[in-house]
Amino acid sequence: MEKHQHGFLLIFFIVISLGLMSFISCIIAEFKKAKEDEMKLDNKLCYLPESEAFSYGIAALVCLVIAQIIGNLLICSNFYFRKDEDSSKAKKPKIATAFLVFSWTCCGVGVIILSGSISMSRKQMYGKGWLNQKCYVVRDGVFIGSGFIALISIAATLVSAFFPIATLKTEQPTRIHAQLV
């Protein structure tokens, strides 16, 4: 049981580290994103160089997805390695499941926002553009917002992972040993 707890804590810190790296990458991407004054216009055609936000956004996206997957493996292993005698009446608490669904929803929203922002941070050539042959620039705060969504997603995953443990400690019945005469 001791090895299981150390492994659980190690994975917990890996998930937290990946979540923080995702958040920090989003913050850096916000400051490195392309500005409107970098856009070059030639009549109706536009050109926007690739910004460093592209690579930081990719890093944030990869860290978020990996943290989400590892966090869910943590939850699954927590249910798998639990002994029958230590388990509570509810194998899958409803609150933990709700946090897990919320976590995946936030992760999905974060991936969509990051993907769009990353795509806009690529080089946009004359006549090609990002969409409809027009150049687009990521609005202020989009990368920071996706960073906060990533943090919320990871936090919800970790709460979902720890909730069954907290439930075990509070729901176990107190055993009273009768004295045999």
pLDDT tens digits, residue range 14-40? 999 999 999 999 999 999 888 877 777
The pLDDT value recorded for residue 83 is: 54
Is the pLDDT assigned to residue 84 strictly greater than 80? no
The pLDDT value recorded for residue 82 is: 59
Of the chain, the percentage scoring pLDDT greater than 70 comes to 72
The residue among 114, 121, 119, 115 whose CA lies nearest residue 145 is: 114
Per the structure block, which two tokens stand in for 159? Answer: 């709460």
**What mean pLDDT comes out for the span 126-145?**
76
Angle between helices 142-171 and 2-32 in degrees, nearest 10: 160
**What mean pLDDT comes out for the span 111-130?**
80
Of the chain, the percentage scoring pLDDT greater than 90 comes to 32
| Residue of higher predicted confidence among 10 and 87 | 10
Q: Which pLDDT band holds residue 149 (cuts at 50, 70, 90)?
A: very high
The pLDDT value recorded for residue 177 is: 55
**What mean pLDDT comes out for the span 112-132?**
78
| Residue of higher predicted confidence among 162 and 106 | 106
Amino acid at 167: T
Is the pLDDT assigned to residue 98 strictly greater than 80? yes
The residue among 151, 107, 114, 111 whose CA lies nearest residue 29 is: 114
Please state, in angstroms and rounded to a whole number, the distance separating the CA atoms of residues 110 and 60.
10
Q: Which pLDDT band holds residue 1 (cuts at 50, 70, 90)?
A: very low
Is the pLDDT assigned to residue 126 strictly greater than 60? yes
The pLDDT value recorded for residue 151 is: 94
**What mean pLDDT comes out for the span 147-155?**
93
Residue 124 per-residue DSSP state: B
Whether 11 and 29 have beta carbons less than 8 Å apart is answered as: no
Find where tokens 């069954």 sit. Answer: 164
Please state, in angstroms and rounded to a whole number, the distance separating the CA atoms of residues 140 and 78.
40
Amino acid at 58: I
Is the pLDDT assigned to residue 139 strictly greater than 90? no
